[in-house]
């Protein structure tokens, strides 16, 4: 496992491109399935529940491994050290800029502006969904960090110094919840031809932010994955509730 982590770290940029491509393919497939006329409302809810359970199970497994099995920590360390030693500094600086798209202040501005715009056009349910997804996820992430209390990576190659707890990644979690919720809102308000580009764009932005946390050296790989899993479960739950309320409102 350590050798695998070392190889992955030395080829981090290739791995990043591959994971982003896979994520885009999954998003494309999910979009097509979600818009299939044969998929009933109850079936869609069932798929959402499966996603929540799978994401929660993955998060639980990561947390258990972190707290009980030193192998995960050794894997994280080997991956981070090799990544930090091989990724060019110019690339790190570029990602140090890109990572600000996931800053809490930026996400709060996006959420607030989106909610105000939705309220001004009388989309109350969508405004509440956006606020619940973004704000609720922020509270969830802070709670999880305080419960687990994992220290940040400490490397000379890191481009930033962060003193909050590391697990799960707040930037990854927050960007997935906020930009994912914005994508959901846009899918409900924009013409059909824009929906797929919105989904693929959101996946690209979230993926870039997630990888930026690894490349600039402020998170371990398991932090980022755990942040994505906790946020996926929360966002999916918010969307399920929103869709149920929307369906109930229209009869």
pLDDT of residue 107: 97
Distance between CA atoms of 210 and 175, rounded to whole angstroms?
A: 8
Condensed to tens digits (0 to 9), the pLDDT of residues 89-114 reads 999 999 999 999 999 999 999 999 99
Identify the residue whose tokens are 């502006």. 113
Domain ranges of the chain: 2-29+41-249
pLDDT of residue 157: 55
Distance between CA atoms of 67 and 103, rounded to whole angstroms?
A: 27
Q: How many CB atoms lie within 10 A of CB 112?
A: 14
**8 A C-beta contact, residue 202 and residue 208:** no
Q: How confident is the model at residue 233 (pLDDT cuts 50, 70, 90)?
A: very high
Q: What is the pTM of this model?
A: 0.93
- Is the sign of the CA dihedral 77, 78, 80, 81 positive or negative? positive
Q: Give the mean pLDDT of 86-90.
A: 93
Q: How confident is the model at residue 32 (pLDDT cuts 50, 70, 90)?
A: confident
Angle between helical axes of 104-120 and 170-189 (0-180°, round to 10): 20
């Amino acid at each position: 496992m350590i050798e695998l982590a070392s190889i992955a770290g030395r080829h981090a940029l290739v791995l990043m491109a591959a994971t982003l491509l896979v994520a885009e393919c999954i998003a494309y497939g999910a979009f097509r399935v979600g818009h299939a006329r044969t998929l009933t409302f109850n079936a869609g809810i069932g798929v959402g529940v499966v996603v929540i359970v799978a994401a929660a199970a993955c998060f639980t497994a990561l947390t258990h491994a972190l707290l009980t099995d030193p192998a995960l920590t050794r894997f994280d360390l080997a991956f981070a050290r090799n990544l930090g030693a091989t990724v060019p500094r110019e690339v790190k600086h570029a990602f140090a800029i890109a990572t600000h798209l996931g800053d809490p202040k930026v996400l709060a501005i996006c959420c607030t502006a989106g909610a105000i715009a939705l309220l001004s056009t009388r989309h109350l349910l969508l405004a509440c969904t956006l606020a619940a997804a973004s704000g609720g996820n922020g509270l969830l992430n802070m709670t999880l960090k305080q419960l687990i209390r994992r220290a940040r990576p400490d490397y000379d190659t890191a481009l930033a110094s962060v003193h909050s707890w590391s697990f799960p990644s707040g930037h990854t979690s927050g960007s997935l919840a906020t930009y994912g919720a914005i994508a959901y809102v846009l899918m409900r308000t924009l013409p059909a031809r824009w929906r797929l580009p919105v989904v693929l764009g959101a996946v690209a932005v979230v993926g870039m932010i997630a990888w930026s946390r690894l490349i600039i050296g402020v998170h371990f790989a398991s932090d980022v994955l755990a942040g994505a899993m906790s946020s996926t479960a929360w966002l999916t739950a918010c969307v399920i509730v929103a869709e149920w309320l929307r369906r109930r409102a229209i009869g």
